[in-house]
Each structure stands twice: as C-alpha cells, then as structure tokens.
Structure 1
Amino acid sequence: MKIYIFNPDTDMALAHNEAHYMAPSSIRGMEHDLALLPIWYARCDTAVLAPSAYNARYLQAMQQLFRLPVRLVTEPELASLPDAELEPWGWNPAFRKRMLAAGVGEERLWTQERIALYRECSSRAYALAVSDGFEKRVDSVQICGRHILVDGAKLKGDPIPKEIADSPDGYLFKSVWSSSGKGLRWCLHGFTEADRAWCLREVEVHKSVILEPIYKKVGDFAMEFFIDEAGKVSFCGYSHFVTDWKGAYQGNLLEPDEEVERWILQYVPQETLVAVRRNLQSMLEKLYGGKYTGHLGVDMMVCPDQGGYPYAIHPHVEVNLRMTMGMVARVFYNRFVACGSKGIFRVDGFRTNEALQELHTQNSKEGPLVLEAGKIVSGYLPLVPVTPQSRSLAYVKIEKVG
C-alpha cells in the first residue's frame, strides 16, 4: 500500500537543510488543514496520512459522492504498516526525522545520501542546465528566457550584465532554494544597497543567487512530467495557472489539455510548442534520470515582443522537483469534472477562520454542487473539511460551458 502525505513545507525545509527544521506556523497550519488533499490525486487502493475526526467524516461524505478508493491513516498507525510505501509531497531531512519519530523503519525512507542528492537536483542552480540546453538545442523557434548564476565575487562589483541591466521591465534575483513565488528580490528601479545586502545574505548561506530579467507575460502555464525508476520521462499534461504580480501562485484553471494547447497556439506556432516539449523531455532525462523518481513540473510563460517575435514561450521559468498544485489540478479535472464543464482550482489562506467560513458559506449558496455519473457538472466543492479552526482552504468552482 502507498501512503500519500501532504507536506507543503518541503521547499523551505530543503533550503534550511536541517533535520530539526520547523516551518512557520502558517505553513504548519496549511499542512494540517489540507492534509486530505491527496485523496483527489492518490491512486486506487492507497491511503492518505491525516488526523482523524473531521477528516474521517469528510472522507466518508466524499466517498458517497465520488469514487475514492482510499483510506485514512493516522501518524500513530504508521509503525504498524511495515509494508507501506511513503509518497510525500516532497522529501527533506526534517520529514525523514518526523517519520523516524513516528516509528517508520529506515528501510522505508529515503537515505540521507539520497535526500542530499535530491536537494542538489531541486536547486535553481542545478536547473540552470535547462536554460543552457534550450540555448544550444532549440533554433528558429519562438522561445526566450535567461538565467545567470551570481556568486559573492560578482556581488562585490556590479553584478548586473548590461543586457540584463537594460531590461525595460527590470530584473530580479532568486534564492537557490525556494519556489511558488518565494525567495524573490524584485529590482524595478536599479540595483540598490538593500538589494546587494539581500543577495549577500543569500550567498552567505547558499553560495550564490540567480539573476534574470523580468519578462512581461500574457499568462503562465506548466508542463507536468513523471520520471520512472528507469529514468524515463513521461508527459502528464498541462497546468494553466494564475499568479499575482510577484509570481505567487493563486490557482489553476480546470480545463482539458486540448484547451490549454489552443490558448498557447494563439501566440506561437505548433512547431515551437512541439520543439519545447520534445527538447525538455530529453534534457530532463539527462539531468534527473537515475537521480530522481516522481512527479515534476516545469513552469513556463507566454511573453510578448521577444527576439523579434510578437510572442515567445519562456520554457524554463522554474523546475519543481516534487508533486505540484498544477498536477493536482490536472488529475482532478481528468477524474472528477464532467465533459463540457470547466472551472478553477484554488488554495487560499485566511487571516481568520471567520473569513474562511464567510467565503465557504457564500460559495456554497452561490454554487450548489451538481453531479452526473460521479462527475461535477457545476458548483462549488471544498476539497478538504471546513472546520472551526481552518485557516487554509483548497476548493474548486465549476461551471457548465455553453
């Protein structure tokens, strides 16, 4: 049996790289509130790790509406399931320590050496090879995007090359380990001493930072992949998502892959999209095959006015070497949304439980759930239980098209 575990602090834990790392209270609250999220992407005859009580009642209610052949497992039960395979959102030293404390045997966990390799492969610095690969492999197609590694020596002088300094929309620095709009330093008005101080702090801990131009965009999307134990990379579908102006994730559009492709092909020819996907799969196999097994997502953008083209694809904004919200949305749409319907998948945090309850009540009134043959035609559905303590909520809103 496979046990799915939602541990959204994994990127932050990798950055700290300490077994005793503890995430901020807001992230710990999110992990608790969204513990059941994996029921929507877990495979048949598996389990999800979550506290009982509210979660058990919610799972029972959902199993009356949908085909969800999963069971609930609590942390004290882990030690009594010696044959179960763990499937966390992502691996890190703190998660390994937590599982050991729960009585999980060493043989069921990634070794410290494997986690160290995974951490290296998860860094933005390691993923720079994707940028290099596109520059060398893809010719005469509409792509853009550049990343530069900046170390402490470069920061002592002027670390901004002229071609980036002249970027009309500014540039930004990225921490080596972070994702989902975190660890970013936006430089909209030149390189200030405060920017230099931020970079120096990052370099002191992680030896370098990533520098890139700020690109205007018409939208975000991702290609989702899976790497098997033989190192083979398989394409799992598209993620069409929304971010705020700082790059923080806000939600996913729930729509078929064909519709995402139609949206992209408004801006670039099919040969560009095919070349990006083909070359990306090849590079991912070379970079990560034999080093990582599991899901990964590569974030991309459609950008206007690049390299003489009216539009271009930025094919390597971010590589997320773990399960992603985009993959959750893709699986959810394919499994649970009726043909001819579409919608949005969101994960929101709230300052108070009262604010969450207000949104939940409003959505429930405005969008009563309509099902046909176990699939959603329209309406609102919280994907986790709404409790008197909840401060985070994952949910979908679906509407029938036409």
Structure 2
Amino acid sequence: MDLHIFNPEHDIALAYDVPHLTIPHVAQEMRMNLGFLPAFWAKDGDAVLVDDIKYALKASKQYKGMIADVLFVEKTDLASLPLDGVKPWGWDCRVCAELAENGVAADILPTEGQLADVRRFSDREQTKEMLHAVRKGIEGDTCGESFVATAMDEACSIIRQLGNAVVKAPWSSSGRGVRYVSDAADQPKLSWIRHTLQHQGKVMIEPRYNKMCDFAMEFVSTPDGGVRYCGLSVFKTLNAQYTGNVVGSERFKRDILSRYVSETLLDDIASRLEQNLTAMLSGRYAGEFGVDMMVVAGAEGNRFLLHPCVEINLRRTMGHLALSLYGGDDEHARLMSIVHDVNYQLKLQRIEGEYVNVL
C-alpha cells in the first residue's frame, strides 16, 4: 500500500525550508477541498491522506468510475497503516516532518540529503544551465536566457539591459514569486526584489517575451535512474498563475502546438530533456515532474520560437493530473480547471471549437 498526499503548499515550503510552517489560508483550503485528487492517479488499495474523510468522500463521489478504489485516511490513522511507500505531490521538509511526527516509518521517508537535492533542483537557477544544454545546436528555432543577480545594483543593471524583464524568486508558489518589470520599475516592485534578495539570496531575471502559448512536457524519473517522457500538457495562465489544462489525446495537443512549431522540434526537445535530466537527477530524485515551456513570437513577427525550459517543477503537476484524467476519448477534449466557488473544486468542461482561439 502506497500513501498519496496532495500538498499544494509544497512550493511555499521549499522557499522557507523549515519543518514547521504555518501555511497560507489559500493553500490550507485547497488541501482541504482537493485532498482527494491523488485518487485519480493512485492504484486500487492505496491510501490517500486527507484533512477530513467525510469531506473527501463527498467531494470525490461525482468522479466515481474515474478514480481508484482508495482508502481515505487522516493523520491519526498513519501509524497503523502497512505502508510500502509515500508519494506526495512534492517532497519538502515540512511534509516529511508531518509524516514522521504521525508515525510513518523513517525508512520509507527521504533522508535530509534527498530533501536537500529536491530543493536544490527546484531552484529556478537550474533553468539557466538546462537552457544552455537543451538549446545547443538549435538556437535558431528556440529562445531563452536566464541571469542570476545576488545584489540590488546587479539586478537593476540586468533589467536596464533587457528593457522588459521577468524577475523570479528562486523558490515560490505559482505566480506569487514572479514580477514583470521594465527599466523604469516602480518602487513596490523594486522593494519586492530587495526583499527577495534579503530572504533567498538571489533573483532570476529573464527577457519578457511575446508569449503565444503555454505548455509543458511531463516526465517521470524512475528508481533505476532513467527519465521517461509522459506526455504534453497544454495549459492556460493569467498573470503568471495557472488557470486550466487541456485534457485530451497527445494528438489533439500536438495539433495545437504544431500551428506554431514543428512536431520534429517537439520530439527533439523531449529527447534532449530526457538525456540531460537523467544526468541531473539519476540517483537523486524519483517521481513525477514537469518542465514548463512556451511558444513566443519572434522579433521579426513572421515566425515562432520555442522556449524549452521556462521552469522545472520537481513535483507532480496539474499536467500530470490532466494526463491521469484522459480516458481515451479522442473525440471530445475537455478543459480542466480549479475554481473557487465557496470551496475549491475541480471542473471539467468540453472544449467546443478550436482551443487555440482561446489561448
């Protein structure tokens, strides 16, 4: 029996890197309302940790037939479960401490060194080296560069050189650690940069592109040390925050992206990432993860370029959830979204017409 956990506070926990942390209300509510989500990718007989069993049973009832036959459990049940392994949304020292303090055996939890590796490889600075490796030899079809600043004057200098830039905290939850700035950045944004430098030691600065489409490639790092491509994730964002995912066949998603870039390029990028990420993660991380990408308009305005590594999310992603939700219906693609209406809810809507028109 494996124990699955949806811990959406993971990115915040990585930033603070402490075993005990009061998480924001939004993340607490999301964990409470959507704690049943691992039932979509768990196996029959597995356990899913939730805040409230009755709530999880009620929230998951509408998805009967789509989810596994799992056992919903609360923290007080953990010590008595015959667990073979633990699979959270993402590993961090907070969720590890939470499990250990509630009776989960240390031999099925990651070591301090393994937790440190997850945090190190989740640092947005990793994209700098990965971009260089993945783009080598295909620079004409791709774009992407990333700069590291460890001091305020250095950050301002890079921003001035770029003109329009995206500044990112090394660790942060979706959208909350990203600021769009120009060479005439206002005081609140400069204050945020200064605060991030003080608390995280650096910021990442990238050019701001004319984005046409968000997407990702989803992978899994296997216990034997290999990295395997799982599928495409085509999603929508608003102000750098996730809003929804396409649930459909690989063919449907490739058709969307092939309006901008060739399928040969997509295959090449997937292969390059498998190779480079195997070298990076082998023996250090096993589990699902994703690499965010985007299609941007070229400077000339008559072609599109692929940015192959906007961010590496070393955890399960909403893209993986979308892959789990796909039931083989090649005729009707759907849009998956997380909405808040009194409570957080998972919504699935049939996509009518051409999805590319609403990106």
Pairwise same-fold verdict (TM > 0.5): yes
Say which of 257, 280, 286 aligns to 1:287: 280
2:226 maps to which residue? 232
2:269 maps to which residue? 276
CA distance in 2, matches of 1:149, 1:61: 46
After superposition, the Cα gap between the structure-2 partners of 1:157 and 1:8, relative to the gap in structure 1 and judged at 3 Å, is closer
1:265 maps to which residue? 258
1:357 maps to which residue? none
CA distance in 2, matches of 1:102, 1:321: 25
1:254 maps to which residue? 247
Aligned-pair identity (%): 28
1:54 maps to which residue? 55
CA distance in 1, matches of 2:227, 2:120: 19
Q: Is the 8 A contact 1:340 1:401 kept in 2?
A: no
CA distance in 2, matches of 1:124, 1:140: 21
2:357 maps to which residue? none
CA distance in 2, matches of 1:124, 1:46: 33
After superposition, the Cα gap between the structure-2 partners of 1:193 and 1:159, relative to the gap in structure 1 and judged at 3 Å, is farther
2:25 maps to which residue? 25
- Listed as ranges, the matches of 1:3-152 within 5 Å are 3-50=3-50, 51-59=52-60, 62-63=63-64, 65-66=65-66, 68-135=68-135, 137-139=136-138, 141-152=140-151
After superposition, the Cα gap between the structure-2 partners of 1:156 and 1:88, relative to the gap in structure 1 and judged at 3 Å, is closer
Q: Does 1:398 align with 2:355?
A: no
What SS class does the counterpart of residue 158 from structure 1 fall into? helix
TM-score (norm 2): 0.91
Cα displacement string for residues 218-274 of structure 1 (whole angstroms, at most 9, x for unaligned residues): 111100000012221101001010001x11100001221111111211112233222
Aligned residues: 353
CA shift, 1:17, in A, is 0.7
Q: Does 1:242 align with 2:236?
A: yes
What SS class does the counterpart of residue 30 from structure 1 fall into? helix
CA distance in 2, matches of 1:174, 1:307: 27
2:175 maps to which residue? 181
CA distance in 2, matches of 1:321, 1:307: 34
Q: Is the 8 A contact 1:144 1:307 kept in 2?
A: no
After superposition, the Cα gap between the structure-2 partners of 1:228 and 1:25, relative to the gap in structure 1 and judged at 3 Å, is same
What SS class does the counterpart of residue 211 from structure 2 fall into? coil
Q: Is the 8 A contact 1:231 1:289 kept in 2?
A: yes
What SS class does the counterpart of residue 259 from structure 2 fall into? coil
After superposition, the Cα gap between the structure-2 partners of 1:81 and 1:126, relative to the gap in structure 1 and judged at 3 Å, is same
What SS class does the counterpart of residue 21 from structure 1 fall into? coil
Amino acid of the residue matched to residue 325 of structure 1?
Answer: M
After superposition, the Cα gap between the structure-2 partners of 1:160 and 1:62, relative to the gap in structure 1 and judged at 3 Å, is closer
Amino acid of the residue matched to residue 342 of structure 1?
Answer: A
Structure 1 window deviating more from structure 2 (24-33 vs 122-131): it is 122-131
After superposition, the Cα gap between the structure-2 partners of 1:156 and 1:27, relative to the gap in structure 1 and judged at 3 Å, is closer
CA shift, 1:67, in A, is 6.1
Q: Is the 8 A contact 1:44 1:68 kept in 2?
A: yes
Amino acid of the residue matched to residue 269 of structure 1?
Answer: S
1:381 maps to which residue? none
After superposition, the Cα gap between the structure-2 partners of 1:271 and 1:141, relative to the gap in structure 1 and judged at 3 Å, is farther
2:306 maps to which residue? 313
Q: Is the 8 A contact 2:248 2:330 kept in 1?
A: no
CA distance in 2, matches of 1:157, 1:223: 32
Please list every run of 5 or more consecutive structure 1 residues that lacks an aligned counterpart in the other structure. Answer: 354-390
What SS class does the counterpart of residue 345 from structure 2 fall into? strand
Q: Does 1:340 align with 2:292?
A: no
Say which of 346, 349, 357 aligns to 2:340: 349
Q: Is the 8 A contact 1:138 1:276 kept in 2?
A: no
Cα displacement string for residues 287-320 of structure 1 (whole angstroms, at most 9, x for unaligned residues): 2222111111111111112478610111111110
CA distance in 2, matches of 1:202, 1:24: 18
The two structures, once aligned, show a CA RMSD in angstroms of: 2.3
CA distance in 1, matches of 2:53, 2:83: 22
What SS class does the counterpart of residue 113 from structure 1 fall into? helix
Amino acid of the residue matched to residue 11 of structure 2?
Answer: D
CA shift, 1:192, in A, is 4.2
TM-score (norm 1): 0.82
Please list every run of 5 or more consecutive structure 2 residues that lacks an aligned counterpart in the other structure. Answer: 355-359
After superposition, the Cα gap between the structure-2 partners of 1:282 and 1:190, relative to the gap in structure 1 and judged at 3 Å, is farther
